[in-house]
Amino acid sequence: MSDLTTLTLAGAIEGLRARRFSSVEVTAAHIAAIEAARPLNAFVLETPEKALEMAARADARLAAGEAGPLEGAPIGIKDLFCTRGVASTAGSRILENFVPPYESTVTANLWRDGAVMLGKLNMDEFAMGSSNETSAFGPVVNPWRSRASNKALSPGGSSGGSAAAVAADLVLGATATDTGGSIRQPAALTGTVGVKPTYGRCSRWGIVAFATSLDQAGPLAKSVEDAAILLRSMSGHDVKDSTSLSADVPDFPSFVGKSVKGLRVGVPMEYRVENMPAAIEALWERGVAWLKDAGCEIVEVSLPHTRYALPVYYIIAPAEASSNLARYDGIRYGLRVDGPTLRDVYEETRAAGFGEEVKRRVLIGTYVLSAGYYDAYYLKALKVRRRIADDFDEAFERVDALLTPTAPCAAFGLGERTSDPIAMYLNDIFTVTVNLAGLPAISVPGGLDASGLPLGLQVIGRALDEATIFSLAAALEKAAAFRTKPDRWWTA
């Protein structure tokens, strides 16, 4: 395999501008890597011809001195983003043959800046999952393996294909989405960097909706700098999205490497959950020590409503999903199963098109929104959500950011948790609070557990203060010096 696939995004951009190699060469190397890595099932659709065409155009712009910020860099796109003329399935049979006539704002921004599309990445169906096992196109396999076993491991979800592709050097970076941890948890389980930006920082237009008030696009990347480069291009106000923030986009990469001396970093006591693995606890302590060494002041803070975050999330998210997924009826687009009556068409189409986890969440959402239960569940959840956001507001009066673990465990085996939805939902215990409060957060690889599997640290910031979390994440990245890559067992 070509060494061009081992480049960081920043390194590739620099090399392309210096004309040490061409975009066509870099893209061809990644296409070959993707073909060799099909056992990972990271892609649901490969687009090599389109990629090479885009790369050739990028090379022409590079030669003419008209390069954009991402000119010629090949990346992967989570299949939740609509891409004009390229199938966009959201990991579901109900959209298996859907080819959008329009481009999502985020991907349009990336193509505007010169990025090259290698294909569409596998994901949990409609982004509902924490293991990438609910995909209608089969589970993604984590490139990492335990030292003790060759068992196939989950890359996390719902952006498992994006995380696996980045970890296996199949792409220079990838788009992803985060509704309750779906960027950060896969990043932690694959040794990659994942950013969930402030709600509204990236446009949701053209992204298949799961939970409208929680969904947010962000990057998965090989380094903090790469993530900052991608987020700069992905961000921006969009009049087509009523929740898009009219805020200037900072030069995020400029904050990577900036001194963090004097910053106050909070450690929330409620995140020390019962039965936390010793490796997670030890990593958190190392993270605290690394930030102290970098000149930060560590402050213990309280987020008292944290214990309600998971139940609140699993009321609000299914409620919004049940509304958003009502549009898949077999009439306008996507799968259609004919029946003698209109009701039969609806029922048969949805029964055949939706997977079990999607059906479960739609039913939960319909229940909590139904007459007699709306006040008891949904409205109460919204009130507690406000309290969770208030906890963060109070904490940020004392500190500049928070440091927590990203996930409560390392990568787990495929199939180990599919029979217990509650055990699966607990994977998001450290991440859902951020979505409920609309805050930015980043996961950075901090080391390996005893089995040789990666673990992540999470930095949470104030709304619209991605700058601080990039600076702190870069300090953690430098101290951790995480350079380990998974063995390429899939090429053997």
What residues are annotated to the active site? 78, 158, 182
Residue 387 CB neighbour total at 10 angstroms: 13
What lies within 8 Å, CB to CB, of 126 at 6+ separation is 80, 90, 91, 92, 208, 210, 321, 325, 358
What lies within 8 Å, CB to CB, of 2 at 6+ separation is 29, 32, 33
- Give the C-alpha separation, 456 to 469, whole Å: 14
- Give the C-alpha separation, 162 to 15, whole Å: 24
- Give the C-alpha separation, 488 to 492, whole Å: 7
| β-strand partners of 216 | 178
Residue 469: name the closest of 196, 172, 174, 192 by CA: 196
Contact 30, 5 (CB under 8 A): yes
- Give the C-alpha separation, 54 to 38, whole Å: 23
Contact 150, 180 (CB under 8 A): no
**Residue 179 C-alpha from the chain's centroid:** 9
Phi-psi label, residue 480: left if phi above 0, alpha if psi -120 to 50, beta otherwise: alpha
- Give the C-alpha separation, 356 to 7, whole Å: 39
Which residue reads 């930060």 in tokens?
296
What lies within 8 Å, CB to CB, of 289 at 6+ separation is none
Residue 408: name the closest of 449, 439, 442 by CA: 449
- Give the C-alpha separation, 385 to 365, whole Å: 17
Structural tokens at position 473: 């994440």
- Give the C-alpha separation, 14 to 362, whole Å: 46
Is residue 141 within a helix (H) or strand (E), and if so which, with residue range? Answer: none
Please list the helix, strand and coil fractions of the chain in percent, rounded to the nearest 5, in that order: 45, 15, 45
- Give the C-alpha separation, 411 to 225, whole Å: 24
Contact 476, 458 (CB under 8 A): no
